[in-house]
């Protein structure tokens, strides 16, 4: 199932920022297309987007 950021945030990751939801939806959709189970794809995408998001924000704040 391909997800949009808004759908993913509403259904699976309510506390996400827009950037986190977008990245998680992108990752989960790619994983499902690759044959991964939806539940595993959702959990993995949420975990990875939480981990990746703060680094992006810090880099933007520092102008890098």
Q: What tens digit of pLDDT does each residue of 7-59 get?
A: 999 999 998 888 899 999 999 999 999 999 999 999 999 999 888 765 555 55
pLDDT at 52: 72
Average pLDDT of the segment spanning 2-7: 92
pLDDT of 1 higher than 60: yes
**Domain boundaries, given as residue ranges, for the chain:** 5-62
pLDDT at 54: 58
* pTM for this model (two decimals): 0.77
- The DSSP result for the chain, as a single string, is ----HHHHHHHT-TT--HHHHHHHHHHHHHHHHTT--HHHHHHHHHHHHHHHHHHHHHHHHHT-
């Amino acid at each position: 199932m391909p997800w949009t950021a808004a759908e993913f945030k509403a259904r699976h990751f309510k506390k996400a920022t827009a950037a986190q939801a977008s990245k998680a939806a992108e990752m989960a959709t790619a994983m499902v297309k690759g044959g991964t189970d939806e539940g595993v794809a959702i959990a993995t995408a949420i975990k990875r987007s939480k981990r990746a998001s703060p680094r992006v924000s810090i880099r933007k704040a520092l102008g890098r």
